[in-house]
């Protein structure tokens, strides 16, 4: 086969298949050959649509960010909007935990990331924060959301029971996988509450 009558690939199809593969089997399962097979194609054909594998992963990550709901920034005061945005942000990331490591690292140069940043900074500046402060607040939210979505706590805290003798407090650490997810969620809720409460207080005090 060469130059089939019906085109087999599009960027969209590739991103879709890559997302499904990463969601189902993790980032490590995403190889160009494997992805191509999934699409009924040979490995190098992907390079007609993406320059590198990293570009494919970037596109997958951007597709995730696209799902985050930023509409609250138009409809609510900055604090409430921030809360709703963060909650949507985390909800989306939690549905694609295998993509979170990518989002936690690369700076978002892609369209969806830029659009999200624009919405956040815009709303905060409109709300009376300086650009510098808006940047800090946005970064903080990213730490909180990505950190609690990495699922690193959920990856298990299975410890050799003999260690409880030398580390007595760890005996009380949550052990079941379900509990670990609850830890990440609880920490996120606590952090979100503390941050927004604190920011609101500072905002009112005019210590800005």
Partner DNA sequence: GCGATAAAACTTACACCGCTAGTTTAACGG
Partner DNA sequence: CCGTTAAACTAGCGGTGTAAGTTTTATCGC
Q: HSE (CB half, 13 Å, CA atoms) of 40?
A: 8
**Residue for token digits 């963060």?**
86
What's the closest the beta carbon of residue 24 comes to DNA, in angstroms? Answer: 15
What is the distance between the alpha carbons of residues 86 and 95, in angstroms, rounded to a whole number?
Answer: 14
**117 interacts with a copy of itself by CB under 8 A:** yes
What is the distance between the alpha carbons of residues 187 and 179, in angstroms, rounded to a whole number?
Answer: 12
Contacts of 79 (CB under 8 A, 6+ apart): 127, 196, 199, 200, 203
Q: Is the separation of the CB atoms in 29 and 21 below 8 Å?
A: yes
> In a 3-state reduction of DSSP, which class is residue 31?
coil
Please give the residues from 125 up to 144 whose contact with a copy of itself meets the rule CB under 8 A.
125, 131-132, 135-137, 139-140, 142-144
**204 interacts with a copy of itself by CB under 8 A:** no
What is the distance between the alpha carbons of residues 184 and 140, in angstroms, rounded to a whole number?
Answer: 16
Which one among 17, 21, 41, 68 touches DNA, defined by CB under 7 A?
41
* Structure tokens that stand for 57 in this block: 């992963």
> Per-residue x/- marks for a copy of itself, 159-178, CB under 8 A?
x---x---xxxx-xxx----
* Beta carbon nearer to DNA, 42 or 71: 42
**54 interacts with DNA by CB under 7 A:** yes
End-to-end CA distance of the chain: 65
* Beta carbon nearer to a copy of itself, 41 or 199: 199
Residues of the shown chain interacting with DNA in the complex, contacts defined by CB under 7 A = 1-9, 30-34, 36, 41-45, 47-49, 51-54
Which residues make up the interface to a copy of itself (CB under 8 A)?
Answer: 101, 104-107, 109, 114-115, 117-118, 121-122, 125, 131-132, 135-137, 139-140, 142-144, 146-148, 150, 152-153, 155-159, 163, 167-170, 172-174, 183-184, 186-187, 190-191, 193-195, 197-199
């Amino acid at each position: 086969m060469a130059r089939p009558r019906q085109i087999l690939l599009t960027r969209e199809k590739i991103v879709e298949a890559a997302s499904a593969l990463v969601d189902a089997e993790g980032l490590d399962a995403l190889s160009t050959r494997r992805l191509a097979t999934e699409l009924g194609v040979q490995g190098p054909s992907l390079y007609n649509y993406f320059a590198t594998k990293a570009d494919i992963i970037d596109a997958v990550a951007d597709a995730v960010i696209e799902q985050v709901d930023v509409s609250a920034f138009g409809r609510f005061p900055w604090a409430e909007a921030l809360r709703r945005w963060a909650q949507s942000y985390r909800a989306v990331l939690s549905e694609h935990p295998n993509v979170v490591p990518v989002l936690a690292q690369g700076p978002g140069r892609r369209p969806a990331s830029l659009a999200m940043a624009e919405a956040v900074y815009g709303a905060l500046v409109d709300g009376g924060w300086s650009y510098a402060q808006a940047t800090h607040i946005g970064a903080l939210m990213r730490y909180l959301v990505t950190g609690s979505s990495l699922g690193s706590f959920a990856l298990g805290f299975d410890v050799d029971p003999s260690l409880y003798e030398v580390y007595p407090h760890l005996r009380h650490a949550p052990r079941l996988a379900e509990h670990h997810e609850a830890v990440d969620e609880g920490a996120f809720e606590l952090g979100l509450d503390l941050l927004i409460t604190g920011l609101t207080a500072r905002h009112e005090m005019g210590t800005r």
